[in-house]
Structures are given as C-alpha cells and as structure tokens.
Structure 1
Amino acid sequence: MCNNKSMTLEKCNEVEDLQCQKLLTTYDGESIRTINVSDIIKIGENNIKFDFECILDSGSQLLGMGNQNSFIDVLYKKFQFKSQHKIFSILLKNENGKLTIGQDYPNYDEITIPFDKHSKYYQIDLATVTDDENNVVFQPNQFENYQIIVDTGSTLINMDSETLQSFQKSFAKCQQDIRGCPQELNYDGYQCYYYDRIRYGYISNFYETFPEFSFNFQNGYQYKLNAKDYLLNPQQDLYCLPFFDHTRNYEPKFQKTILLGQPFMNNKEFYFDLTDSKIFIKNPEAKQNTLQIRNLSDIVQNYYIYVEIGLLIGIYLFYRKYSVQIRGIFRSARTNQGFNPYA
C-alpha cells in the first residue's frame, strides 16, 4: 500500500496524467490498482529519489519480487559499481537478511540456474524434484503448463494442490525411522511437528526424520533442500512444513505456478546475475570483506554495498517498478499466508 505517512511522497496528478493509475495483474489473475509516485530512499548518508508504483487496493494475492530491475539499475548508476556483471545477492536467515549490490560472484562460468530474461519474474526451468528415497515428487507433463519462480516475496513455498499432495507423501519417511514420527500438530492451519527434546536429543536427529529434496534442472544443476532450511519455526520446539496450496482463481489461460519462496532460499546466498540471466547459489562465508557505504564519494573500483534487511523495513513501499526484487524481504507475510515464520 502507499505509505501516506511519508513526508516526501509525491503522487502523480490524476487529472493531468492519464497514465497516473494502472492495473497490476498478480500471479493468478487478480487486478490491483496502482498509482505512479516518487519518494526518497536513504542509503547511508545518500538521499536518492525513486519513481515507482504503489498499490491502492489491499489484495490477497502474492505480489512477489519480479524480474524488473530498475532499482538495481539506479543503484549501479548512482554508486558506479565496477563489478564484472550487473549483479546483486540476497542472503536470508531466520533472524534477518542481507541484500548486497555490486559484488562479483567468484566464478561466472560455474553451472547454475538460468532464468528466463523475457519473463516478468525470475522464472526457472525445473525438470524434476525427487526426495531422498528416490521418489519423483514433481515432474511436469508439459513445461508450458507451469511457471516455476524463485521469489522472496513469499514466506512459504506455494504450489497447486496436486503438487502439494505429492510433496506431502514424502513425509511418510519417518515411519521407517526407529524413533518413529514426531508428534503432528496443527498450528493456524499448517502441518507442524513437535520437537521432543528427550526423544530426539540433538535437533539434527529431529531433522533426519524429514526428507531432503533435490531440485533438478534442465541443464543438470541440482539444488539440495533439507529440513534444517525449509522447516518453519514459529514457536519454540514447533516446526512446520512450508508448503502452501495456492490454486484459487486459476483459469485455463493461466499456468499453474510454483513459487519457491523464502524457505527455498534460506541460509544460502542467492546471486542474481542480470547480465547473463543466471542465479548462482553458494553457502555464505563466515566473514565477508564488506564495506558499508556512507557517501557516494567513498566509492572506489572494488567496493560494493550491502543492506541489513532488518533495519530497512520502511522501504517496502517501493513496489513493482523499482524494487520489486527485494520488496518481499522487507514485508511480513501477506494475509493469505497465515503467519510469518521469519517475523
């Protein structure tokens, strides 16, 4: 929604500008009104003016980040980064997150996940998903029937009901464990499990009762997703599955959408290479030689900036046109997602 409390927010003139208001279509076809505005974002001691669109209607749909990178383009122009590729990275952890802009990836020739540069979203070419019992959890019969998107805008992993049921079958793995299955609980409509410390001891033993998923891509790249990363922890000793049925409003003209949200990205650093349309993934280093920029004059050839996401809640208002790619990180879960496990 538009941040009407901002003293620097400027809205377009609806009488003079026929393009002042527009309609935004969300993933599954809902239309939401937007309005062209401008405001000031402060990074360090630098005030930068952005033009963007903010929403006028409260919607129940997933808005997401989208493959529209004007926000990154503006920062590259303002800060004159000298990275080999135009790139930014996102690191999400349960307690906070980090956005880094202008930092080169160590090896641009590495095999990784390509995304469709012509799509409005970071749409990827997932071939199959298998669990650690070699069961095929997901395999599209026709690729054109699906949009598979990496998206920080969702605090869950959203999918159609058929795919969701297939994922849920993998959680019968615990029935073969000598410790048995964890106690299953319902929390706010989500399938959750109780971590019995006496029964399991170390949390790693509890995690072992859950499946590990392998996301296999068309180019042969494989991404492992384990319980330590995908389980949500809304309360002490309560761990919930991140999968959410998001099938409403689908019509024949709309593809089924799988949104690989924050649980898919948790505890890994995702580099979005805008030059070659690729997503690189690596384990975060314990320490990084990162500089916090205070003034534009501080920029030199090898510097880049990062933003501690938890400190910048206020900039969520920069929607669709500029900072859609990081918007979801700055906001809590939308109403149709129930609870925010990362709050």
Structure 2
Amino acid sequence: MPNYLTSETQPRMSQFHEDTPSARANVGAPLPSKAELKRWRQYLANERAEAAVYRELAAHRDGEEREILLALADAEGRHEAHWRELLGEEAGAPLRADIRTRALGWLARRFGSIFVLALAQRAESASPYSSDPHATSAMAADERIHEEVVRGLAARGRLRLSGTFRAAVFGANDGLVSNLALVLGIGATGVSSAFVLFSGIAGLLAGALSMGAGEYVSVRSQRELLDASNPDPDADKALPDLDVDANELALVYRARGMDEAEAERHAARVITRIHAQGAPLTGPVGTIDDHEAIGTGWGAALSSFCFFASGAIIPVLPYIFGLQGLAAVIVAVVLVGIALLVTGAVVGLLSGAPPLRRAMRQLGIGLGAAAVTYVLGLAFGTTVG
C-alpha cells in the first residue's frame, strides 16, 4: 500500500500537479483511516459521475456551449485522478455516486435542460474541497470557478426561458392561491357544496382569461417599447454621405451611452471602414434586443392561461369528486399545499436558490392568504345566520 499525504506532514498543495505518486512515496506519512478512505472513494465516484453529467449535457449542445461543457468534464477528470492516486491500491471496486449526482446524470441523459444546469450550479457550490485537507487548493478553486461557469451557461437558458416561465409560474401560483381562497371563503359561509363547486369553476375561467389577457397586453406593450428603442436598420444607408469632419455619427454613440472620446474614436473607425470598403461592417449602433428575455405576447398569454387553470382546478377537485364540508376543505388545502411546495421548489432550483426555502415561502404565503379568506367566510356566514 502506498504512503499518503496528510495535512500534518505536508503543507497544503497550491497546484494539482504537485501531488504525484513520487511525492507521496518520499513522505513517511501515516496510513489513512478507514473514514478517510471511504470519503476519498466517494469523492472519486462523484467526480466520475460529474464528468459524465457534463458530457451528457454537451451531447445536447453544439458550438461554444459544447466546448465549455467538455472542458468542465476534463477538469472533473483531473480531480478524479487526484483521488485515484491518493487511494492507489485502496481504490477498490467503483462506488456509486451520491444520490444528487446520480439524479443529475439521469436528468442530463433524458433532458439536457436548464433544470440540469441549475442543479449542477448548486452541486458545484456545495463542494467540500475547500474544507478538506486532502484536496488541493487548486481543486477547491476549480470547483468555485466551475460554479460560475455553470451559472453563466444556465443564465443563457434562464434568459430564453424567463418570459414564458415568469407567466407560467405567476399563473400557476395565482390559480392555486386565488381559487383556494375563493373556495374556502365561500365554503365557510355554509352554502352547499354544489355552489362552492360552481363558484370555483367560475373563478377558474374568469381568472385564467384575465391572466392570459393581462400577460398578452403586458408583453406586447413591452415589446413595442423595445422596438421603439432599437436603432432603425435603414440608418446604415446614410453613413457613406456623412460629413467626415463633423462626423455626427459620434452623437449616436454618445446618445447610446458612450463617453465623448470613445464615441469619437468609434465613429471615426466606422467612417474609415465605410470609405475604405464601400459599406459599414456593422450598423451605427448595436440593437437592444431583449425580446428573447420577455418572450412573445401569445406565448406568455397561453402559458399564463394554462398554468392558472391548472393551478385553479386543484382546490376544486375535492368538490368535483363529491367530497363535502370539512373533508373537502382539508383535501383541497393538502393538494394546494403540495402544489405550492412544488412550484416554490422549481423556482428555487431555476434561480439557483435553496429549493426548500423557496418552497416553504411559497407555502406560507399561499396558505396564509387562504386562511384569511376562510376566517372572513366564517365570520360572514355567522353574521348572515
């Protein structure tokens, strides 16, 4: 069995390549404990699995994103080699990765989606290497930087998803909370279950239509504002006839945020290219294109309508299946509570925040609003009685 480095016999290494078999052989370090061997084997398994996750994600992409993901897989391979060399003959049969990494691999093989990148971002942020004396400082730094790399990749997906996703999340949450509040508030007055059911269905349709129409108007208005702010594509045609001495193109760049000196230099370069090549290489200014982030009006409206309806139907389900009174209320609250936990956790995952905290926050807000209307319904029913 080879000798091993420990924090007591060897200073913490600043570079991965300094930890080599020959370096360890020259140090009469004590043998590692069973707990250390077990931990190193788990690290080894996790690194192998994480490299596989990045390769699976790369298989769903092309171009620059694919290259970045493959480079991350190579980095995890270097970390794997570190633990394999430390273990030596004690590496034993390959272990299974931890549950989190295995779940990542399963998702990556089947979806390769923004959800996987968001989970990978959280996994990189939870690396134990910064506090483990047997991991090099370079490895700990790698993991910290990997988190930022994955954050950058996930940001691209979040940007593409944010418009429709915002409408979907708000729609589902509003449907859950508003219709549960409606159903509980009306039910607490003592009216019949049939009346509660029809009120819930009416609330579902009214709310879904209102949400869809509101999202359509909101997104369309935002896109129209962006269109009004984007440069005129035909403005390029005027560039060859600009007065070279006055060079009013610099004013365009200054209006877009450049300082005076930078605007003058950039405008001079553009004018020079125009006269040298006959046409500008680029337009007078870059476009302001946030359309991808806000989505389309119809997409936001449809998402909002469908998700509001899918959320609003849940508190009505007990009444649809014939439950009445307190039993229907309890089932509706439990079903909505589960749905709120799920939507909160999903938002947390996609935003890179702790999913449990987001889930509990969503649950607290939703059930709190429903409780208020239920108490008001009880009070109103008592007054009428």
Same fold (TM over 0.5): no
Using CA pairs under 8 Å that are at least 6 residues apart, name the structure with larger relative contact order, 1 or 2.
1
Greater Cα radius of gyration, structure 1 or 2: 2
More strand by share: 1
TM-score (norm 1): 0.24
TM-score (norm 2): 0.22
